[in-house]
Amino acid sequence: MAEARFWKKGKGTSVQCFLCPHHCTIQEGTSGRCRVRINTDGILIPTTYARVASLAMDPIEKKPLYHFYPGSRIFSVGSVGCNLGCYFCQNWRISQVSPLECSLQEVTPEEALRRTRAENAVGIAFTYNEPLIWWEYVYDTARVAHREGFKVVFVTNGFIESEPLREILPLTDAMNVDLKAMDDEFYQKYCQGRLQPVLDTITAIYEANVHLEITNLLLAGLNDSPTAVAQLVDWIYALDPDIPLHLSRAFPAHRCDLPPTPPPVMGRAWRQAREKLSYVYQGNISSDEASSTFCVACGGRVIERSGYTVSTVGLRGNICTSCGKVLKMVVM
Ligand code: SF4
Ligand code: SF4
Ligand SMILES: [Zn+2]
């Protein structure tokens, strides 16, 4: 297996990885915190290269991306491991395990593209676990995808160093970044990460002109207060009020036994966010209104969503048919 990028030799046979802000020092025979980058004989190896734990042809709305080729399907792949350890992780069965604890199938970049083409998908999404710790594979696959005219999408926690991010952005068409809370203590206590690198990633994506949507998992009593929602909304607003925000309902998972986020809490946060942001959605909850897209100028419904059924009812291209406003929407 080829060696990893973004590392250097340390003392003795140890190595240090610089892919994400953890900068793990890794002793021979062990892995970094993500569990997948392993020091083998003094060389850092990305052991999950082309090794896939989950794959599916998904509606693009499931990523979630609501403003990027709405109604299309995208070939979605994920592996194992994550560089964060959120105690509420909804995908912990693949994100919090090592490659030895999960059955993995080989899907080369060429095979991923063959399936994407065969299913007539708009492109390929790296999702389910944290894709940026899979850097070498996602880079190679994204290159093949772009060469053949397919779109490349990441659903990520955004906890990555600036250099690997800078290299992958020109091969990226859209990203959904999970912004868990505008609170560094929250990141440290509940996610084993830090806030600022995630904010830096979001800013870099935006400045690179890559389509960007943000997801916030609302956890009752942890990050759902009006103050917490205001901090999140204000930060996004300052970057661009037209960035779509997905407020996602949490369910008990992994080490978190909080009850599912109550619908009134979801509704309150949604209404609050809509006071400043142009496009706010509720996810993991049944609400046609909170999953539809409304024109930011005239308020008309332009895309109706019911589950994963998507109907474009008031758009011609990315223009509102009622008032002529050009909406932030990437379409065919
Ligand atoms: S990518 Fe993995 S090994 Fe590298 S610094 Fe991050 S957690 Fe550590
Ligand atoms: S960043 Fe995402 S995949 Fe990783 S532990 Fe947190 S919720 Fe799970
Ligand atoms: Zn309009």
Q: Are 225 and 261 in contact (CB under 8 A)?
A: no
Find out whether the beta carbon of 160 lies less than 6 Å from any atom of ligand 1: no
Residue among 277, 279, 196 nearest 238 (CA) = 277
Claim to verify: residue 215 and residue 327 sit in the same structural domain: no
Residue 251 pLDDT: 95
Claim to verify: residue 108 and residue 246 sit in the same structural domain: yes
Claim to verify: residue 11 and residue 148 sit in the same structural domain: no
Q: 7: which DSSP letter?
A: E
Claim to verify: residue 216 and residue 162 sit in the same structural domain: yes
Region 12-24: what's the mean pLDDT?
98
Contact partners, residue 234, CB within 8 Å, separation at least 6: 276
* Residue 297 three-state SS: coil
40-84 pLDDT, tens per residue? 999 999 999 999 999 999 999 999 999 999 999 999 999 999 999
162-198 pLDDT, tens per residue? 999 999 999 999 999 999 999 999 999 999 999 999 9
> What total number of domains does the chain contain?
3
Does 2 reside within a domain? Answer: no
* Residue 332 banded pLDDT, cuts 50, 70, 90: confident
* Residue 238 banded pLDDT, cuts 50, 70, 90: very high
* 87 vs 119: CA distance, rounded Å: 36
* 198 vs 200: CA distance, rounded Å: 5
Q: What is the pTM of this model?
A: 0.98
Residue closest by Cα to atom 6 of ligand 1: 20
206-220 pLDDT, tens per residue? 999 999 999 999 999
- Chain CA centroid to CA 38, Å: 24
Claim to verify: residue 236 and residue 126 sit in the same structural domain: yes
Q: 59: which DSSP letter?
A: E
User: How many other C-beta atoms can be found within 10 angstroms of the C-beta atom of residue 2?
Assistant: 10
For the CA of 8, the nearest ligand: 1
Residue 31 belongs to what domain range? Answer: 7-46
Apex 246 CA angle, 264 and 68, nearest 5:
145
* 246 vs 270: CA distance, rounded Å: 9
Q: How far is the CA of 304 from the centre of ligand 3 (A)?
A: 14
For the CA of 301, the nearest ligand: 3
Claim to verify: residue 233 and residue 252 sit in the same structural domain: yes
Q: How far is the CA of 67 from the centre of ligand 3 (A)?
A: 16
Residue among 277, 288, 283, 285 nearest 229 (CA) = 277
Claim to verify: residue 198 and residue 332 sit in the same structural domain: no
* 60 vs 45: CA distance, rounded Å: 32
Claim to verify: residue 152 and residue 76 sit in the same structural domain: yes
The CATH number of whichever domain residue 156 belongs to comes to 3.20.20.70
Region 143-158: what's the mean pLDDT?
98
Claim to verify: residue 39 and residue 57 sit in the same structural domain: no
Find out whether the beta carbon of 67 lies less than 6 Å from any atom of ligand 1: no
* Residue 162 three-state SS: helix
Q: Are 123 and 75 in contact (CB under 8 A)?
A: yes
CA 205, 207, 213, 217 dihedral sign is: positive
Claim to verify: residue 188 and residue 203 sit in the same structural domain: yes
Whether 1 shows a pLDDT value over 90: the answer reads no
Claim to verify: residue 296 and residue 237 sit in the same structural domain: no
Residue 309 pLDDT: 94
User: How many other C-beta atoms can be found within 10 angstroms of the C-beta atom of residue 224?
Assistant: 21
* 193 vs 290: CA distance, rounded Å: 30
Q: How far is the CA of 236 from the centre of ligand 1 (A)?
A: 27
Ligand 1 pocket test, candidate residues 14, 133, 135, 159, most atoms within 8 A of CB? 133
Claim to verify: residue 81 and residue 147 sit in the same structural domain: yes
